[in-house]
Structure 1
């Protein structure tokens, strides 16, 4: 785990988790403003005169849309269209782009991209010197404006200055992701703690689940087409750009309607958290999908994101003996062009 997390006073645990002695943390984030170290996320920078061209040939995003305002979702795929990582793309400066993704995928994606980097004037840097904090609550925007001297953006956009990048994410409560130098965390955390309640990053992950937003980790690498996590419904795929690795398969799955699995949001009748990858079965104990992420909500029940078959009415489902209740996603399963997000 990274040293900057100790500056928050949180306990570093396995699985990129950080916890605090905050009772009923999920409820705290519903009723008041909260702050959390986003230990499960990491940063990869792509910088150099050819950075835009280099990324354009590798990622599902239309890179020119990452203009310092819009910070689109994106993904990197194998030639067979399976995701190596999904990420958010932002522009720090001309010829300097930043990718935020699950921390367990930063090194492997960097290694993958380095195979193509020698053909471009570009540098890849794993940014262990940066930290990511999450602000949750209706006061988040006001706090960010005062502390970080930026006008907080709307979801999937950014606001930046020489020190901070502030990104807005969707969820049941307003959420801001703050990217800052790791050596600045102690000072900024102390100020934010005066106005918010520290909570573990499980709360942020719960809000991702409730937003229908899945961040793949190293165990899920090379397993899913982007559409299987509803990436095109979140504006994470540009179908208007030119070729990139895996583009042909991703486009064919979209235009021919060949996506046989989709991301679902669900709740369990119980408080036992299934591990990512746990099998979801039907009434005949036949596998119908698997868990991607799971966290306890404000009422002590397990909520999860799962990739499930869409081929038929699969009837009652369960995981580890707990009944699965499907919940409505907060967005329709429809293609959202990132070009439209840029112009809205």
Structure 2
């Protein structure tokens, strides 16, 4: 990945930190602009071999059969107590060959966890550091034949394109590093460069939380609305943590939920910062935060008590917090329904 870092620097990019990049014109581009974004905060863990599907079926909340090369379902990996170790998107890129797209900080910890069980199966796990992930946001002629439905994918022998939800059309493109510069050049002919923050704000607007290593083992899947996004199959067989996850759903025991909010001030709060009500009682925490391009506030994902009313006065670090509506209904989205409605596979 060193060569890719050099390429981003040659394009005027600068690392904001170890995983996020920014470009000189970022501040002048609104969130509804069309853009090309390096998705350096995401990465791929590969599961490959004759037993890959069977192995994943026993570890993940998705029904692996739904990952059919057309639908790329969301999923989680849990502890025996049902807490999320990592959330991911599951892509079938070839027979007996799967990619998990997840936050880069969780690839190594998840691999270490899964390696405990891998020796009992005919399959291998590998961090695909040779892949580059790009984000395409907005209208572009290049995307004319790409999937038009969220969580659907198209692929060829080398690259994969997956549609993600958001206020603008957007796609994640994963391809070998040695092909990335050519694809980058083709895309920049139509799209302006933008930093990782643009993609992260689109995730916030979509009510989509990609957990980091700092969040690992903190939430039940329902606390990040994963069942409302179709990321939990309640009809498949057992997987690690399944009993707790199912009990929380059927008994209605989820007391905290993911929400969208806006915070006064242009400095993002530290992840995990406490949300307090008018009586200074802690009622939740910040899950993700990005500065609004207007510079007048911050866009947030929060995990907050379900007992708190939407219009209740709230604050973080003494700054006013205003809640916003989720872009999807807070009810179970049946992944079996999604699978049945999958678009025909695309070449």
| Superposition TM-score tier, normalisation by shorter sequence | over 0.9
Q: RMSD in angstroms over aligned alpha carbons? A: 1.4
- Alignment equivalent of 1:310, drawn from 293, 306, 311: 306
CA contact (8 A) 2:283 2:308 kept: no
| Structure 1 counterpart of 2:345 | none
Evaluate the alpha carbon distance shift between residue 236 and residue 246 of structure 1 in structure 2; reply closer, same or farther with a 3 A threshold.
same
CA distance in 1, matches of 2:247, 2:238: 13
Distance 1:3 1:237 in 2: 38
Question: What is the aligned partner in structure 1 of residue 230 from structure 2?
Answer: 235
Deviation track 1:289-326 (CA, whole Å, cap 9, x = no partner) reads 11010112243221100000113448311111110100
1:5 matched residue in structure 2:
5
Task: Note if contact 1:25-1:199 (Cα within 8 Å) is conserved in structure 2.
Answer: no
Q: Structure 1 residue 18 and structure 2 residue 15: aligned? A: no
Deviation at 1:282, TM superposition (A): 1.1
**What is the alpha-carbon distance in structure 2 between the residues aligned to residue 195 and residue 298 of structure 1?**
22
Output aligned runs, 1:133-212, within 5 Å: 133-139=134-140, 142-145=141-144, 151-212=146-207
Q: Deviation digits for residues 318-340 of structure 1, max 9, x if unmatched? A: 11111010000100001001110
- The alignment's TM-score, normalised by the length of structure 2, stands at 0.94
2:279 and 2:315 map into 1 onto residues whose CA distance is: 10
Could you tell me which residue of structure 2 aligns to residue 325 of structure 1?
Answer: 322
Tell me, in whole angstroms, the C-alpha distance in 1 between the residues paired with 2:251 and 2:28.
Answer: 44
In structure 1, the residue matched to 2:69 is: 68
Q: Distance in 1 between matches of 2:58 and 2:233?
A: 12
**1:100 corresponds to 2:101:** yes
Q: CA deviation at 1:287?
A: 1.2
Cα distance between partner residues in 2 of 1:78 and 1:26: 41
Unmatched runs of 5 consecutive residues or more in structure 1: none
CA distance in 2, matches of 1:34, 1:69: 25
Shift of 1:98: 0.3
> Which stretch shifts more, 8-17 or 106-115?
8-17
Instruction: Quickly say closer, same or farther: Cα 1:26–1:321, change in 2 above 3 A.
Output: farther
Q: Is the 8 A contact 2:26 2:195 kept in 1?
A: no
Q: Which residue number in structure 2 is paired with residue 217 of structure 1? A: 212
Partner SS, residue 40 of structure 2: coil
| SS of equivalent to 1:162 | coil
What does residue 56 of structure 1 align with?
57
CA contact (8 A) 2:266 2:292 kept: no
| Residue 2 of structure 1: how far off its partner (Å) | 5.3
Structure 2 CA distance for partners of 1:312 and 1:191, relative to 1, 3 Å = closer
Distance 2:190 2:131 in 1: 23
Aligned residue for 1:220, secondary structure, equals coil
Relative to the length of structure 1, the TM-score reads: 0.94
Shift of 1:33: 1.6
CA distance in 2, matches of 1:20, 1:135: 15
Judge which range, 225-234 or 182-191, deviates more. 182-191
Q: State the SS of the aligned residue for 1:233.
A: coil
Structure 1 window deviating more from structure 2 (243-252 vs 282-291): it is 282-291
Q: Give, in angstroms, the shift of residue 15 of structure 1.
A: 4.7
Change (3 A) 1:157 1:2: farther
The equivalent of 2:344 in structure 1 is: none
Q: Structure 2 unaligned segments of length 5 or more: list them.
A: 342-347
CA-CA distance at 1:269 after TM superposition: 2.1
Change (3 A) 1:34 1:226: same
CA contact (8 A) 1:87 1:100 kept: yes
**SS at the partner of 2:290?**
strand
- 1:275 and 1:92 mapped to 2: Cα distance? 36
Could you give the per-residue CA deviations for residues 178-233 of structure 1, whole angstroms, max 9, x where no partner exists?
00001222222122112110000010000000000000000100000000000000
